[in-house]
Structure 1
Amino acid sequence: MSLDTRDGVVIGEGVLLENQPTSFVTRALGGVIDVVVTALAYVLVLLGFLAIGGGIGEDGTRILSVVLIVLFFVVVPTTVETLTRGRSLGKLAVGIRIVRDDGGPVRFRQALVRALVGVLELWLTVGSVALICSLVHPQGKRVGDLLAGTYAIRVRSTVTARAVVPMPPALAGWAAVADVGRLPDGLALSVRQFLVRAPGLHPTSRADLGGRLATEVLAHVSPPPPAWAHPEQVLAAVVASRRDRDYRALRRAETGEQQDGARLRRLPFGVPDPEN
């Protein structure tokens, strides 16, 4: 079963975080907003400094212009993307975010590379280099994204409800005592996708794929299931067991944190807490 995770990140037990790249039009609109806002802010601040210090001379004006260029076209974009984890005014307006290729938030290094390269591809070439690169790249990346290892994703999208794999009643007893190890991410994702799509598969392909996945999964399970168990039931029992066990562990951790917090807030030596 082929898996295409180029636009997603597999975490935990085969959970795929789907990061859908933005369209060229959406990203271009966000870029235009950022460019217009940055250019206006630069011009207004430059005019303000010149009006206040009109006697700084030609050399002073050049130095001031260079300082403001570095400030508005490198320092400000780097700071904004780092602090907001990939957002800016234009990206916020169109509902997109810059993330790393692994799906994580951008850091200072990625933001700095994007800003430095942006001086060339956005400002010195009037956006032509970024335009051409975004048009030909499948994820709409510009040169700064290629060098920084980032791309833009949508943060406003319809949430698709995912089917919950139920525990087969016939294997509930076995699953309760079975030791299910951590499945490789690719295998866990394949199992989940197979169980969701199985009803629509051809019977022969369904039986063959189910059997092969069950063989791979059982290498991480002890003891083996009953001999009469159907491969799809085994897969469903393993997935449901892992899900339920992780949920219980999460609930225990949350309860423990709440209890620890209550003990930390409690006054020592039997001193009564002040009345609210």
Structure 2
Amino acid sequence: MSFDNAYEALTAVEGESRWAFGTGFDDPLSGVDTALPDGVDGAALGRYCLMLGDDALIAAQRLIEWVTRAPELEDELALANIALDLLGQARLLLARAGQADGSGRGEDELAYFRDEREYRNVRLVELPGGDFAQTIARLLVLATWRLALFARLAESRDPVLAAIAAKGVKELAYHREYAAQWTTRLGDGTELSHARMQRGLDEAWPLVDELFAPNATDREMVAAGVGADPAQTRAEFDDVLAQVVAAATLRRPETSALAGVAGRLGRDGIHTEHLGHLLAEMQILARAHPEATW
């Protein structure tokens, strides 16, 4: 079989092109009842889906910055596909947020027409790219935590959230595996790669505790049987990280500076200086042409 260019060869799967998110994939919400479960506050469910969707959206934006910059073409494709997985999760979650809270806001409106203080993502995903090891460290932390959370959300009383989580578990398992393999390669590699991988973990670690401290929305959704308590994922997270760090001959960073934090700063709209710059770039086209269709 011959192809006119490299991308045509890469995207050909049994005669179908499956390059972009949303083409050639089954709809995870096909046949799912979208009505709110009995006794569940739609506004709270909307806030909950917004938090999870914002995590994925901002992480996807950061990862896509590696396109044309990754060390190898294989890793450029891997990071792009991970970003597309997260973007897919974000689209589904933001759409559910606008539906559940009764505002009717769509995924595009929520993604492109909110200001920095209205975003509810954890601060880990905002950090700028840095080098490849720093990105891998953040991806390892994010994927390990998010996989543990989504595995629990697959049992949610909200059928939509459960379906999104069930699909996400398969994707996040790959994200965690990819990050763990690279962590091991770099950590147990050369002196330079070991030092950079350790630095990546050390720099991500001050933002780890924020992932596990539930806020009021978490607690309300857990009580309703819809959400998952992030604190209950900590033991699984620590176990996985301990195994990866040991295999990579790295040192587990010390307890973060946010140990015992009472609130989740990003969840409250308090972000790092980096989010505003990221949103300015991400939102500029949509805000310049707000009525445009593509």
TM-score by length of 1: 0.23
Structure 1 or 2: more strand by fraction? 1
Structure (1 or 2) with the larger CA radius of gyration = 1
TM-score, length of structure 2 as denominator length: 0.22
